[in-house]
Amino acid sequence: AARDPRSADQRSPEREVLDALRRQPDTGFAVHDAPSQIERLLAEQAALRNTLNHRPRDPRPALRQAELALASAHQDLYWSNHRLEAAEKRLAELGPLSQLRRQRRHEKTSVLDQIGRCTDDIQRAETNIAGCQRDLDELRGEVNQRQEWDAEHGWPESRLRSVDTELAELGHHGLH
């Protein structure tokens, strides 16, 4: 194949194709062509981060803690009732003749004190259950508010992930 003598490139056509295939492609050309795209995404990213900084807190961790606290309060009530039943059973076993001997009188006094403590524990557990239930009801309302807020604001967290992905694909390695 004859080459044009005016061409400075004296390679054969096959050699030109092979050399072209060996070159690394310019993967950044789209970035250079579209700086306004990156600027637009960075502005959107900043706006989304600002919006997310002002959204209601996520109440789900606190909700889980409140559920655990309520379960614990119910367990405390269960065991307080169990101890009360055992003390009442012991008192019944002592019977009416327990007052005749000093040791039995002392034992009866001890059991009566235990019944009093158990009754106080039951009242505290019931009060605690009521408080935990109020907290739980309030937090459930906050879960709904957070979901409504996210829907009202166009699910900004999801959009931010998309913007971050687009910026990464365009080769922008700023702060994420």
Q: Identify the CA nearest to 81 among candidates 135, 11, 129.
A: 129
Distance, C-alpha 169 to centroid of its chain:
28
CA 163, 50, 147, 71 dihedral sign is: positive
Q: Give yes or no for residue 175 having a pLDDT over 70.
A: no
Q: How confident is the model at residue 171 (pLDDT cuts 50, 70, 90)?
A: confident
Give the tens place of pLDDT for each residue, 25-75. Answer: 555 555 555 568 889 999 999 999 999 999 888 899 999 999 999 999 999
Give the tens place of pLDDT for each residue, 94-123. Answer: 877 767 778 888 898 999 999 999 999 999
User: What HEC string does 34-62 produce?
Assistant: CHHHHHHHHHHHHHHHHHHHCCCCCCHHH
Cα gap 155→47, rounded to integer Å: 13
Tell me the pTM.
0.59
Q: How confident is the model at residue 176 (pLDDT cuts 50, 70, 90)?
A: very low
Give the tens place of pLDDT for each residue, 5-38. Answer: 555 667 888 877 777 767 765 555 555 555 688 8
Query: Which residues neighbour 20 within 8 Å (Cβ) at sequence distance 6 or greater?
Result: none
